[in-house]
Amino acid sequence: MGPATDGILLIDKCMGETSHGVVKKTRFAFGGANRAKVGHAGTLDPFATGLLILLVGQGTKLSQFIMPGQKVYSATLQLGVETDTLDLTGKVVATADVPAMTLEHVQETAKAFVGTLHQVPPAYSAVRYQGRRAYELARKGQAVELKAREVTVHSLRVLSVALPEITVHIRCSSGTYVRSLASDLGEALGTVAHLRSLRRIKSGPFDVREALSSAEIGRIQGPSLLERVIPMREAIPQLGEISVSEHTAEKVREGCQPDWEELMLGWDEKADFSPDFQNGWIKLVSGGKLVAILQVAPGEGGRQGKAKIERVFA
């Protein structure tokens, strides 16, 4: 069996590159815009580095199943200086003295930012506001008043304090803005702050140590690049799995909903059918290949469950 042509590609994005630029460069390396469909599962700001998950071919259908995964970052914030973008690329809008503080004091203060938070996204963000991207309006000097969103910070470890800089390790939900977190932490410490550096270490089950540097794209072409593509079935290891016959697989590809009895024949008893498990999404596979992703709701009290096709793959 040759290399996968549909799946995901793990990239370690270099500083200064845009996520769209990496997508465009990768598409060209695969043989041009008309030969390979390439997207991404969550952007990184140009100043940030680290794990960028690219979606290749039919892998572009996996975005909604990959993006919600937890993220892990290493970040350095600089105290005493606030910028309009909340990072090092913006204009300075405020300065303040940096009070003396110990590592223990910063660690204690950081505890308030662990758990469920209501976070206001930065004005310079891709969040939509009045039908436009917020950053488009902010760049024109227009006021942007974004609503707070619920995010979860699972852990926030303070690694070092070398004033005016503080380095932290963050594990958080998708949609968390580390720039906002840095600004809020600076305020809690009695000063202002902006994000000096940001590196995404993990996204869901994938680690940047497994990734190909974006600087290598272009030097590695077509077939060699395809060898780095993770097949679709392996790209979503967090989902439970059901194996079906090729006959059932073809019916599903033609749009037929599989009945519950057919699914139970291929049920892996290790799979978790709880509706809370990734929203009840289950992989349907045949012959080792991903056929579809189903949304499954198990029955109660001996009743049959229900299955709805979410995505189908050729």
- Which of the residues are catalytic? 45
Q: In three state form, how does the secondary structure of 31-87 look?
A: CCCCCCCEEECCCCCCCCEEEEEEEEHHHHHHHHHHCCCCEEEEEEEEECEEECCCE
What are residue 106's phi and psi, to 5 degrees? -65, -40
As to burial, measured by CB atoms within 10 angstroms (0-12 exposed, 13-18 middle, 19+ buried), residue 165 is middle
Q: Is 1 helix (H, G, I), strand (E, B) or coil?
A: coil
CA distance 283 to 243: 8
CA dihedral 133, 211, 161, 187 (to 10 degrees): 10
As to burial, measured by CB atoms within 10 angstroms (0-12 exposed, 13-18 middle, 19+ buried), residue 308 is exposed
CA distance 77 to 288: 46
DSSP 8-state assignment for residue 259: P
The two beta strands, 206-207 and 193-203, are: antiparallel
**Count of other CB atoms within 10 angstroms of residue 309:** 17
| CA distance to 47, 121, 167, per residue, from 128 (Å) | 21, 11, 30
**Count of other CB atoms within 10 angstroms of residue 124:** 23
